């Protein structure tokens, strides 16, 4: 067993409830550090720069990628998303647990570059429930929802690539299971 804390990656289809699980977990355990991603997506109502994401322009994203400043990055539903590398490495070196909440393509890149990362797949209780959640958010135009559903189908098929699967039947249960996997409780 390595003494080094592992990087935990939470992934799964869009709309499965990853951010709700993470928000709940951090309310109970604010000491768990969550990486803040850079994205070219426009902020949704209530989202704050530096808290939910670093909202960047296409040019800024190009530079982050070209300078090797991202641990991983992916294009998702027409926008780019990436994990700033320096902040993650700093925490891991200090021995603090680190959590990434990213899409499947990003999870695969982390697997390639950090063999000991712990990859956790958040699965919906059913496909119908996932469709309901993706359609119900009401903040995106229909073509964006269609793209997200198409991406979700592909993402669901990737479950066997992951070290663990957690089924999102209850936010509280999944948050507790995730903390246990991270050795926080
Ligand atoms: P949303 O636009 O709903 O906030 O996020 C869309 C998708 O992008 C989600 O599946 C989310 O997990 C993923 N995502 C967020 N940040 C990153 C990141 O830094 N890298 C990758 N690869 N995916 C991300």
pLDDT at 136: 77
pLDDT at position 1 over 80: no
pLDDT digits (tens, 9 = 90+) for 79-96: 999 999 999 999 999 989
Q: Please report whether residue 86 resides in a domain.
A: yes
pLDDT at position 121 over 70: yes
Q: What is the 3-state secondary structure (H, E, C) of 81-102?
A: EEEEHHHHHHHHHCCCCEEEEC
Ligand 1 atom nearest to CA at 106: 22
Residue range of the domain that includes 38: 7-181
Q: Please report whether residue 2 resides in a domain.
A: no
Q: In what order do the strands lie in the sheet with 79-84?
A: 54-55, 38-39, 79-84, 70-76
* Closest protein CA for atom 2 of ligand 1: 41
pLDDT at position 66 over 90: yes
Q: Which residues line ligand 1 (CB under 6 A)?
A: 14, 18, 37, 41, 72-74, 76, 81-83, 101-103, 105-106
Average pLDDT, the chain: 92
Nearest to 88 by CA among 63, 113, 59, 67: 113
Greater confidence (105 vs 136) lies with 105
150-154 long-range contacts (CB < 8 A, ≥24 apart) are: 151/13, 151/14, 151/76, 151/77, 151/103, 152/13, 152/14, 152/15, 152/16, 154/104
Ligand 1 atom nearest to CA at 52: 4
pLDDT at position 152 over 90: no
Ligand 1 atom nearest to CA at 105: 22
**Distance in angstroms (rounded) separating the CA atoms of residues 15 and 145:** 10
User: How many domains are contained in the chain?
Assistant: 1
**Distance in angstroms (rounded) separating the CA atoms of residues 98 and 10:** 11
Q: Are 37 and 52 in contact (CB under 8 A)?
A: no
pLDDT digits (tens, 9 = 90+) for 7-62: 999 999 878 999 999 999 999 999 899 999 999 999 999 999 999 999 999 999 99
Assign residue 76 the CATH number of its domain: 3.40.50.300
Q: Please report whether residue 44 resides in a domain.
A: yes
Greater confidence (8 vs 154) lies with 8
């Amino acid at each position: 067993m390595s003494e080094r804390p592992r990087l935990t990656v939470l992934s799964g289809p869009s709309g499965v409830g990853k951010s709700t699980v993470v928000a709940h977990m951090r309310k109970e355990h604010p000491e768990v550090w969550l990486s803040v991603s850079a994205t070219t997506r426009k902020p949704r109502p209530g989202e704050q720069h530096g808290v939910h994401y670093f909202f960047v322009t296409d040019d800024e994203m190009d530079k982050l990628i070209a300078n090797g400043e991202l641990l991983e990055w992916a294009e998702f539903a027409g926008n780019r998303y990436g994990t700033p590398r320096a902040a993650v490495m700093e925490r891991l070196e200090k021995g603090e647990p680190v959590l990434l909440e990213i899409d499947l393509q990003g999870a695969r890149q982390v697997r390639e570059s950090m063999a000991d990362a712990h990859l956790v797949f958040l699965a919906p209780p059913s496909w119908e429930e996932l469709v309901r959640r993706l359609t119900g958010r009401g903040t995106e135009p229909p073509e964006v929802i269609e793209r997200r559903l198409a991406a979700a189908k592909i993402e669901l098929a990737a479950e066997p690539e992951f070290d663990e699967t957690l089924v999102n039947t209850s936010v509280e249960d999944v948050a507790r299971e995730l903390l246990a996997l991270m050795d926080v409780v």
